Chains A and B, each alone.
Chain A
Amino acid sequence: MKRIITLNVNEKEYEVAVAPNRTLAQVLREDLNLLGTKIGCDMGDCGACTVILDDRPVNSCLVLAVQANERKITTIEGVADGPHLHPVQQAFVEHGAIQCGFCSPGMILSAKSLLEKNSKPTEYEIREALSGNLCRCTGYQKIVEAVKAASQTMKK
């Protein structure tokens, strides 16, 4: 049976009717058309589906939409401020941290979440914070450089 739930996504309230067996990733993509959230494995192994749920990045393929009822969600679509990229996004663009881009939404959300808690992370802390987000293209180096650069600009 479907439930009516309210999701607060990117500071907008959405009322959706969902069956309990649908994941947050599915509902974001299929019902809210927020297609920036990717599905790479659907099992918690890759992080492509990362969203921020109540201030913590999580694998949205392992969250039921009904569990997110009345909770605050940030997806990649909610990171930029209108046409202005978030410093993390800007740094990803400038530092070549994006190749195929399939991991990028998740990476950016994990990185943003890290920098909000820890504005001066060490390289190890950055790598650890990103360790649930797999990237097959970049070897991570430029991603780490981008996060470092973003932490610099965000401090200013």
Chain B
Amino acid sequence: MKEFAIINTRLPKVDAWAKATGDARYTDDLSMPNMLYGALLQSPLAHARIKSIDISRAKRLPGVKDVITAKEAGLIKYGVSPARYDETVFCDQKVRYIGDEIAAVAAIDLETALEAVSLIEVEYEELPILLDPFEAMKEGVIAIHDEFPNNICAEVHQEFGNVEEAFKECDYIRTDKFVNKKQDGAFIEPQSCIAFYDLNGNLTLTTSTQTVHYVQRTVAMVLGLPVGKVRVTKPCVGGGFGPKASANTIELASSILSMRTGRPVKMTFTREQVFQHSRARHQFWHELTTGVKKDGSLIALKNTCHMDGGAYSSFGIATVYYGGSLLGAPYKLPNMKYDGYRMYTNKPANGAQRGHGGVVARAAWEQQLDVIAEELGMDPLEMRLKNMMKRGDTTCNDFNMSSFGMEECLEAIRDGSGWKKKKGKLPKGKGIGVACGFFVSGAGFPIYRSETFHSTAMIKLSEDGGTINLYTAAADIGQGSDTILTMMAAEAIGVRYEDVRVLSGDTDFGVDLGAYSSRQTLMSGHAVKQAGEDVRDQVLEVLSRNFKIPVEDMDIKKGLIIFKKKKPDFSVLRSTYIKEHRGWVDPPVGDELTFKEAARVAYFEKGVVVGRGSYKPGDLGGKYKGAAVGTSPAYGCSAQVVEVTVDMETGKVTIDDMTDAHDCGFAINPTNIEGQMQGSLSMGVGEALFEEIKFDDKGRVVNPTLGEYRIPTALDMPNVNTIIIESNEPNGPWGAKEVGEGAIMPTIPAILNAIYDATGVRVRELPVTSERLFTLMKEQEKK
């Protein structure tokens, strides 16, 4: 096994000290001289025509500097995927959900801005409200967007193999339905931004985002500015999980307000606005028909999915594809058919959330597989093992398993959880369940069609050679990419962790598509590794010329130059360095030539020493329509065993134990990986047991608080036996691939399967509240 100095260790995160002491700054912590505060006017109605807007009273309020509506902001359409740009900064003719933005105000303080908002008068003509996507699809109902008369925002029809033919060969076929509820990202930091348009015509937007690059492009397009004039930068971000992965209204509104007033403008969501903006997990209705042979081999899957999209597309086009494409895998499945429909409704738009598009399909299918295993009299874990793909396999929809530690994952959780001792042997009220998961390690294509690099990196040495500055536009939103990329840079060059300073999350630092689809470790990692190696090579080449030693005979380790053969005399070099830096506190010492000195030599020769790296995935196969969604340079996989106790008299579920194994290719930092796994599982527990955005019949979110929208507390999460599996991904830097999203995949179905084991009840609607389970148990008793 290869030895590493930096990667594959548990170094603390680069930003942990700042975050532990309160020094870390998030967007809302920042302010600028002369800054104005913005506020939004949002629709109180779910569907209405705007007859008139009167901003005159608001404008006259002392302290108000600007009021803008669609008239001032323009009607350029934007969104996530260029195929479905369906939003404008402000509503023009119509409002489409409660919270839809109508106007914005900039004023000297928040109080004045809010008062001005209350003075804007809007006349509405109410329209019929569509809250149910199945209603919205019906003939003759009102169109939420004129361009989409059936309110079908997107549909997908795919077939791989021949499902109907394949069903004829099956010994057992069953159909099940499954539905979840609209979820929320529930990151603890509400979105916030500060826009400043300066006298030179440069816009700097500081914002709580996962994707500076996409926000830059959207803002430039909507404001009609050259991309180069728009700089988007993020300070610390307090979690994102998907909803912060695209441009939002406050980013656009504050930019426009700043352009018009010439002053910095800050806007921050309240928690209620976070819920209204949403862009989180869709509600999905899946109908799955699976056919198998007597021996348990999976033959065919028919998957029909309807999705409640909300009022706009957001990430929905990708979501509707992911709702189909992530199934099949991790199993060998030769035939698969998928029909997906995403409908517009008068609710906050749904978008992407951890495990984009795949979580509910996974929950539905993994539970169905459990039923099938039982019907066939097989152990569900063994049935999974039997069908598992291996490294080198390709799915029927053309995904290539270039590495695949799935068998290892299953064996690890089987042995780690004591599965064999427990399955089928627990008393009533206690249960154990298993499930598998599968996810992309970065989207194979950017959201807009382009040949763009997905990640670039630049490493620049300070002229004294002592500091290595890593520049990347990758976004650390808490998942730890700054740490991982710092470790990678240090490893690639051969220096110490503390010698590298990471500067990230800024469009000035390069192109990086950002923190979504679990891409940064692999993609940004590649770019950083390349940049680091470039720096290393440049420094060694200079040394080689100086000392007349071939590059191959040298190496850099822990900040020291290793001469594999004879060590040259570098005393002149050292004394020069020390003389030059007389009075400095850190003169190079010891018997070895330091990287610092070597870098100084390189500086003398080159002036600037810059290493460059860039990455885009190669040709990834899949030529069918929609192949862009789901193809990835690598795939992560995972398996979980969950143990529960069900209070048979109340229906309340307690998660007692979780065993989770995830194949991340190679662990750059095991502590971070475990953190991603445990965090994913807690989000899965929340979605399985509690989380649900509820609406009244007018389309209003009735629980827009973290009190009534329940994410797990410390008392709701058990400890997780967290097992890392490494499969050495050939397409990943040092063999690494994703962990951030895939880890959530098995959680919900493993819980559902455990609940069945405990109660004999199959729950096919989330969340499994005590009431839902109790009611189902009662129904079962009656039968």
Establish whether A and B are touching in the complex (CB under 8 Å): yes
A109 to chain B, nearest CB (A): 10
Structural contact, B705 and A45, CB atoms closer than 8 A: yes
Please indicate the chain A residues that have their CB under 8 angstroms from the CB of B236 in the complex. Answer: 100-102
Binary flags per residue of A11-53, CB closer than 8 Å to B gives 1, else 0 = 0000000000000000001000011111111111110100000
The stretch of A1-9, A63-71, A131-139 in contact with B is A131-139
Among A34, A42, A100, A140, point to the contact of B237 (Cβ < 8 A): A100
Please indicate the chain A residues that have their CB under 8 angstroms from the CB of B12 in the complex. Answer: 93-94, 96
Among B19, B707, B711, point to the contact of A101 (Cβ < 8 A): B19
The answer to whether A60 has its CB under 8 Å from any CB of chain B is no
Please indicate the chain B residues that have their CB under 8 angstroms from the CB of A44 in the complex. Answer: 707
Please indicate the chain B residues that have their CB under 8 angstroms from the CB of A93 in the complex. Answer: 12-13, 16-17, 20
Q: A92-B16, A102-B188 are in contact. Are A139 and B679 (CB under 8 A)?
A: yes
Closest residue to B12 on the A side, CB-wise?
A93
The answer to whether A89 has its CB under 8 Å from any CB of chain B is yes
Count class of interface residues, chain B: 35 or more
Structural contact, B714 and A133, CB atoms closer than 8 A: yes
The answer to whether B160 has its CB under 8 Å from any CB of chain A is no
Q: Which B residues from 164 to 208 make CB contacts under 8 A with A? A: 185-190
The answer to whether B682 has its CB under 8 Å from any CB of chain A is yes
A99 to chain B, nearest CB (A): 4
Binary flags per residue of A117-143, CB closer than 8 Å to B gives 1, else 0 = 000000000111011111111111111
Structural contact, B478 and A99, CB atoms closer than 8 A: yes
A114 to chain B, nearest CB (A): 12
Structural contact, A36 and B679, CB atoms closer than 8 A: no
Closest residue to B23 on the A side, CB-wise?
A36
The answer to whether B546 has its CB under 8 Å from any CB of chain A is no
B715 to chain A, nearest CB (A): 5
Structural contact, A43 and B21, CB atoms closer than 8 A: no
The answer to whether B509 has its CB under 8 Å from any CB of chain A is no
- The distance in angstroms between the C-alpha atoms of A136 and B185, with both chains bound, is 9
Among A37, A128, A139, point to the contact of B717 (Cβ < 8 A): A139
The answer to whether A58 has its CB under 8 Å from any CB of chain B is no
The answer to whether B542 has its CB under 8 Å from any CB of chain A is no
B693 to chain A, nearest CB (A): 15
Structural contact, B706 and A41, CB atoms closer than 8 A: yes
Among A77, A101, A126, point to the contact of B238 (Cβ < 8 A): A101
The answer to whether B270 has its CB under 8 Å from any CB of chain A is yes
Q: A77-B21, A101-B15 are in contact. Are A38 and B26 (CB under 8 A)?
A: yes
- The distance in angstroms between the C-alpha atoms of A42 and B185, with both chains bound, is 17
Closest residue to A94 on the B side, CB-wise?
B12
Q: A39-B28, A40-B189 are in contact. Are A141 and B705 (CB under 8 A)?
A: no
Instruction: Identify which of B16, B712, B714, B715 gathers the most chain A CB atoms within 10 Å of its CB.
Output: B714
Structural contact, B15 and A96, CB atoms closer than 8 A: no
Please indicate the chain B residues that have their CB under 8 angstroms from the CB of A140 in the complex. Answer: 678, 682, 712, 714, 717
Binary flags per residue of B1-44, CB closer than 8 Å to A gives 1, else 0 = 00000000010110111111111111011000000000000000
A107 to chain B, nearest CB (A): 9
The answer to whether A154 has its CB under 8 Å from any CB of chain B is no
Among B22, B672, B720, point to the contact of A75 (Cβ < 8 A): B22
Please indicate the chain A residues that have their CB under 8 angstroms from the CB of B24 in the complex. Answer: 36, 101
Structural contact, A40 and B28, CB atoms closer than 8 A: no
Structural contact, B675 and A46, CB atoms closer than 8 A: no
Closest residue to A124 on the B side, CB-wise?
B715
- The distance in angstroms between the C-alpha atoms of A64 and B15, with both chains bound, is 32
Please indicate the chain B residues that have their CB under 8 angstroms from the CB of A29 in the complex. Answer: 29
B616 to chain A, nearest CB (A): 28
The DSSP consensus for interface residues of chain A is loop
Please indicate the chain B residues that have their CB under 8 angstroms from the CB of A92 in the complex. Answer: 16, 20
Please indicate the chain A residues that have their CB under 8 angstroms from the CB of B680 in the complex. Answer: 139
Please indicate the chain A residues that have their CB under 8 angstroms from the CB of B270 in the complex. Answer: 42
- The distance in angstroms between the C-alpha atoms of A76 and B28, with both chains bound, is 17
- The distance in angstroms between the C-alpha atoms of A59 and B271, with both chains bound, is 16
Binary flags per residue of B694-737, CB closer than 8 Å to A gives 1, else 0 = 00000000000111000111110101101000000000000000
- The distance in angstroms between the C-alpha atoms of A95 and B674, with both chains bound, is 11
Instruction: Identify which of A80, A93, A95 gathers the most chain B CB atoms within 10 Å of its CB.
Output: A93
Please indicate the chain A residues that have their CB under 8 angstroms from the CB of B719 in the complex. Answer: 141, 144
Binary flags per residue of A71-108, CB closer than 8 Å to B gives 1, else 0 = 00001110110000100011011111011111111001
The answer to whether B681 has its CB under 8 Å from any CB of chain A is yes
- The distance in angstroms between the C-alpha atoms of A84 and B609, with both chains bound, is 36
- Tally chain A residues at the interface, Cβ within 8 Å: 55
Instruction: Identify which of B10, B22, B28 gathers the most chain A CB atoms within 10 Å of its CB.
Output: B22
Structural contact, B22 and A35, CB atoms closer than 8 A: yes
Structural contact, A96 and B188, CB atoms closer than 8 A: no
The answer to whether B136 has its CB under 8 Å from any CB of chain A is no
The answer to whether B64 has its CB under 8 Å from any CB of chain A is no
B29 to chain A, nearest CB (A): 4
Please indicate the chain A residues that have their CB under 8 angstroms from the CB of B189 in the complex. Answer: 38, 40, 100, 102
The answer to whether B241 has its CB under 8 Å from any CB of chain A is yes
The answer to whether B81 has its CB under 8 Å from any CB of chain A is no
Please indicate the chain B residues that have their CB under 8 angstroms from the CB of A141 in the complex. Answer: 674, 678, 717, 719-720, 722
Binary flags per residue of B475-498, CB closer than 8 Å to A gives 1, else 0 = 001111000000000000000000
Instruction: Identify which of B20, B29, B478, B722 gathers the most chain A CB atoms within 10 Å of its CB.
Output: B20
Q: A38-B188, A45-B705, A101-B478 are in contact. Are A76 and B683 (CB under 8 A)?
A: no
- The distance in angstroms between the C-alpha atoms of A93 and B20, with both chains bound, is 7
- The distance in angstroms between the C-alpha atoms of A106 and B759, with both chains bound, is 39
Please indicate the chain B residues that have their CB under 8 angstroms from the CB of A128 in the complex. Answer: 714-715
Structural contact, B679 and A136, CB atoms closer than 8 A: yes
Structural contact, B714 and A98, CB atoms closer than 8 A: no
The answer to whether B671 has its CB under 8 Å from any CB of chain A is yes
B271 to chain A, nearest CB (A): 4
Structural contact, B22 and A76, CB atoms closer than 8 A: yes
- 24 pairs of residues in contact across A and B, judged by CB atoms under 8 Å: A35-B22, A40-B189, A41-B706, A43-B705, A43-B706, A46-B188, A48-B188, A75-B22, A77-B21, A93-B13, A99-B679, A100-B239, A100-B478, A101-B18, A102-B187, A104-B19, A127-B714, A136-B188, A136-B239, A140-B712, A140-B714, A141-B719, A141-B720, A143-B714
B-side residues, CB < 8 A to A, are 10, 12-13, 15-26, 28-29, 185-190, 236-239, 241, 270-271, 477-480, 671-672, 674-675, 678-683, 705-707, 711-715, 717, 719-720, 722
A-side residues, CB < 8 A to B, are 29, 34-46, 48, 75-77, 79-80, 85, 89-90, 92-96, 98-105, 108, 126-128, 130-144
Additional 16 contacts, C-beta under 8 A, given A98-B15, A101-B236: A35-B22, A39-B190, A40-B189, A44-B707, A46-B188, A93-B17, A93-B20, A96-B13, A99-B480, A100-B237, A131-B713, A135-B188, A137-B675, A138-B675, A139-B712, A141-B719
Nearest first, the 6 closest Cβ-Cβ pairs linking A and B are A36-B22, A100-B478, A102-B238, A101-B19, A139-B678, A76-B22
